[in-house]
Structure 1
């Protein structure tokens, strides 16, 4: 959500920022709706004040025996009683229209977010690791995995496309990845582990920005709740409608949860393998901070995600997303893209975003500065630390051997119950 005061004072700058995101200018429409709502509110308040004033005057007129004046005042009060509900309804409708317009607008990009139309204009910031030279033709995980316990056919038979069933050593490796990520983020990066609901109310999805605009990308249950597309929703909304003490900040939370996405806008994309699933696991990172700390916290969060890739010896590159490729809730986003030798390209494995106060305004989450009056909206940040399924893909492809086995990275050995490699079982 956006600050109306900022739009009133900076309409041209607001429109220019929206245009950078590929959105149409709307400041004129916003201000017209705002002016209409404020005019109706003023009219309603004046009518209420006049009704109260006239009601008091009735008694005074009757006390003086001025029956004509008293009757005229009674008629005026009766008319105002009929008028006020209509004004209240008009003011409520005007407020809803304004809120609906604002709720559908994306966040404004940060000054250092590069302009661009799509992913081809993202900016590479850094690379880590050297892609391995293979003495054989490396295989895609979808070809490598089935004999190691990655069962695509059973997943489809049970649930349909974009679901996968894992067995034995593959399921163990998948679990090891999630546990290692969670232990790393809590033990070395200072995030507090949380266990969150997987079903949330629509207010929660609105708070983080998935609703109302992206409803088709999510799954809704028969009782009106929604399956979380990421633990960002439940973690960030844990502070909704609160006024936090400054001493409590920063708040850093993490959770390993299943995630559910309809992939409505991805028909025909990545239907083979684990890259794009309806159900997957992810370790999510969320930070709640003071505005002046959010830029540094963003860099710290990206480093937290990078640490996992480095520990697993997975080459990657760090990309700064352009305005056209960034999620609606973000001001600035870094993507980490891992090298997949079986596909011969880099693929996104983590996205870390600074949302500024955009989500906080939707959730009405503020903090109380220790040495100043008034409450201030917090800044929220979120990122993947990491997506488990995509990390499994990267481990399989980068650590595969000529005989079809996969060597377990050293960082995962404590979680593997003595297994040092995945070997062909059928």
Structure 2
């Protein structure tokens, strides 16, 4: 969430930033809401001051045995109290209206983010590795998985409907191996602390990371009012909500391997076959809590940590700098890592690493104290996939496909596969 004080001081900068995101100008509306809030608060404060003054005057009148004046002042105080009740209601409404409007404004892009409308305006930052060198025909993951006999969409639909997958045998093990490999790598080599956290959260947690109120339709909600997490970013980032941290202990780096749940609202007709776009999927999440000075460097570091997963697996990928029109709601800058999928003959996103500035810190009221500094500052947050396990499974299947339809296990995963070096068709 943005600071209304900054907006009042920089209305043109806000509207220019929103224009880069192809959003309507909002500075005048927000300032108007803040003016109303200020006006109501001032009126209430004036009433409180007059009530307090009149109360003192009542005491003085009674001391002077001026009953008529005391009764008149008492009537005035009673009237003020009745009027204050209405003013307090107006204050709550004014504050809520401003906060709701602010909560729906996206973050301000960094100056070096390319301006554009959609994914076609993203910019390649680097490309790593090569496409597979084999000559046999490429296949999509669902063709491979079904032919092997370990990927079942019909039974998944029977259980849960569309956008679910049942994996069995070696493919189920390969998915688990990928997740374990990622979490081991990020904790053992990259210095992240592993966290096992809830999969269901309250409204406040979803608000803190920006999913609510704007993106409620993208989420699943339980009958008792909790939300299923769309990513462990929600729980990992909110670990520090409403806390004051010491700057010398930053950055905090957290990682978790969890299921994620998304309604995929608005994706009708996209990736309907296979397991690229699912309602439920495993993801290894990375989150950093930093100070203002370290956030940009931490973004580069986090992106490299996610890239290292694909390098170790021998996968061809490219890292893209997202344009202003393709960035997420809470991001100031985002790198998407796109892995090569031979079956689709294209790159597809497998990780998205974003630096959010103090946007989430402000929503969570998470702050830090600098050494020898009295003033508190909001923490800066970053999040990224390290990586999406299901999509990584797809990439391994398509890139390590053999001519006979079997899939070779990448060397990095062999310690997790119980001696299995190749996945062959079920007997």
TM-score normalised by the chain length of structure 1: 0.99
- Look up the SS of the partner of 1:239 in the other structure: coil
Instruction: Tell me the equivalent position of 2:184.
Output: 183
- Tell me the matched-pair count: 426
Instruction: Tell me the equivalent position of 1:110.
Output: 110
How far apart are residue 246 of structure 1 and its match?
A: 1.2
How far apart are residue 92 of structure 1 and its match?
A: 0.8
Instruction: Tell me the equivalent position of 1:122.
Output: 122
Instruction: Tell me the equivalent position of 2:280.
Output: 279
How far apart are residue 274 of structure 1 and its match?
A: 1.1
- Look up the SS of the partner of 1:291 in the other structure: coil
How far apart are residue 43 of structure 1 and its match?
A: 1.1
Q: Does 1:23 align with 2:20?
A: no
- Cα separation, 1, equivalents of 2:45 and 2:408: 73
Matches within 5 A, 1:247-258: 247-258=248-259
- Cα separation, 1, equivalents of 2:50 and 2:192: 56
- Cα separation, 1, equivalents of 2:8 and 2:61: 45
Instruction: Tell me the equivalent position of 1:143.
Output: 143
- Cα separation, 2, equivalents of 1:421 and 1:151: 20
Instruction: Tell me the equivalent position of 1:235.
Output: 236
Instruction: Tell me the equivalent position of 1:69.
Output: 69
Per-residue Cα deviation, 1:346-389 (whole angstroms, up to 9, x for no partner): 00000000011111111000001112221000100000000000
How far apart are residue 68 of structure 1 and its match?
A: 2.0
How far apart are residue 35 of structure 1 and its match?
A: 1.1
Q: Does 1:375 align with 2:376?
A: yes
How far apart are residue 45 of structure 1 and its match?
A: 1.0
Per-residue Cα deviation, 1:113-156 (whole angstroms, up to 9, x for no partner): 11000000000010000101222111111101113311122111
- Cα separation, 2, equivalents of 1:58 and 1:75: 10
- Look up the SS of the partner of 2:28 in the other structure: helix
Instruction: Tell me the equivalent position of 1:301.
Output: 302
Gaps of 5+ in 2: none
Instruction: Tell me the equivalent position of 2:355.
Output: 354
Per-residue Cα deviation, 1:68-109 (whole angstroms, up to 9, x for no partner): 211211111011011111111111101111111111111111
Instruction: Tell me the equivalent position of 1:216.
Output: 217
- Look up the SS of the partner of 1:380 in the other structure: strand
Instruction: Tell me the equivalent position of 1:60.
Output: 60
Matches within 5 A, 1:318-333: 318-333=319-334
RMSD of the TM alignment (CA)?
0.8
Instruction: Tell me the equivalent position of 2:398.
Output: 397
How far apart are residue 247 of structure 1 and its match?
A: 2.0
Q: Which moved more, 1:151-160 or 1:204-213?
A: 151-160
Gaps of 5+ in 1: none
Deviating above 4 A after TM superposition, structure 1's stretches of 4 or more consecutive aligned residues are: none
Q: Does 1:3 align with 2:20?
A: no
Instruction: Tell me the equivalent position of 1:167.
Output: 168
- Cα separation, 1, equivalents of 2:147 and 2:185: 30
- Look up the SS of the partner of 1:384 in the other structure: strand
Matches within 5 A, 1:58-97: 58-97=58-97
Instruction: Tell me the equivalent position of 2:246.
Output: 245
How far apart are residue 36 of structure 1 and its match?
A: 1.2
- Look up the SS of the partner of 1:292 in the other structure: coil
